[in-house]
Amino acid sequence: MLPFSAVLMIAIGVCATAAIPTRAAPADTGGIAPTGRLRVAIAISPAPGPFWAGRDPAGQPKGVTVDLGQAMADALGVPLALVVYDNSGAITDAGPTGAWDITFVPMDAARRQKLDFGPVYNVGESTFLVRPGAAIASLEDVDKPGVRVVGIANTTTLRAIGGWLKNTRATGLPTVEAVIEQLKSGQADAFGMSRDALTDLSAEIPGSHVLPGHFFQARVAVAVPKGHTDSLAFAKTFVETAKGSGLLRRILDANGLQSQPVAPPDSG
């Protein structure tokens, strides 16, 4: 009988060469999926992207992280179980509780205290969405006294905003939906997030605009709860294989993200 590592490499190779991953033969998952299912933590918003998932017309989660999670589950030969959260901060906080096995989130120093990271698969620019009627035309205009800046609470992006601002402060809100409501009602002036997501959200808020430039580059990576060495080894191998085989490129393209780059090899 082949050892688990050999079975895993074969399964990853099969999945990575297929446009749509196919289920591999069941294997001893070595503690990666202790419940018999691969529990992948995702966050959902109205503006899907390389990190955020969305929902299909039937209300089911869809997106890059869903497809990556399915490909990983197929490589292991186990069912996929999605664990849905409001944002990446909630995913991170749940990591030590054993609620999920693998996730995909932007990495930063604070998050490394609870999670172990594998390779980066996407690097994206973060900028601001400006509410209708606000006299904000540049990044410099955001960092002025009295400008009401918001972000998603307990996230890498909000921490980056806090470090970037010098003359005003940012407030964290729990969900993208809460932010949209504040922008529409005039309670907030500028919302910091990834450019790809903000471009989609701008269409929902007539008169709003996305600022040129960026204040931060988010590095989105695969991650596991701290100390889960088998899971981390699997995640590293899978993501690097998905990059090299073109599977990750196909997943991005299939989700309408043709302009989003795939991070180079060994970016973790």
How far is residue 168's CA from residue 179's CA, in Å, rounded to a whole number? 18
Ranges 75-84, 188-197, 227-236, 257-266: which has the least confidence: 257-266
Mean pLDDT of 44-66: 94
Mean pLDDT of 185-191: 97
How far is residue 245's CA from residue 193's CA, in Å, rounded to a whole number? 30
Q: Which fold has domain 124-216?
A: D-Maltodextrin-Binding Protein; domain 2 (3.40.190)
Q: What is the dihedral of CA 76, 51, 84, 89, to 10 degrees?
A: 120
Q: What is the 3-class SS of 29-48, one letter each residue?
A: CCCCCCCCCEEEEEEECCCC
Nearest to 108 by CA among 53, 155, 176: 155
The answer to whether the 4-123+220-254 and 124-216 domains have the same CATH topology is yes
* Residue-wise pLDDT tens digits, 240-255: 999 999 999 999 999 9
Report the pLDDT value the prediction gives residue 100, as an integer from 0 to 100. Answer: 98
Task: Sketch the domain layout of the chain as residue ranges.
Answer: 4-123+220-254, 124-216
For residue 224, the cross-strand partners are: 116
* Residue-wise pLDDT tens digits, 144-183: 999 999 999 989 999 999 999 999 999 999 999 999 999 9
pLDDT at 103 over 90: yes
Report the pLDDT value the prediction gives residue 134, as an integer from 0 to 100. Answer: 97
Decide: residue 205, CB within 10 A, 0-12 exposed, 13-18 middle, 19+ buried: middle
Assess contact for 24 and 14: CB atoms under 8 A.
yes
Mean pLDDT of 7-35: 54
Decide if domain 4-123+220-254 falls under CATH 3.40.190.10: yes
Mean pLDDT of the chain: 89
Nearest to 27 by CA among 19, 17, 38, 16: 38
| Prediction pTM value | 0.79
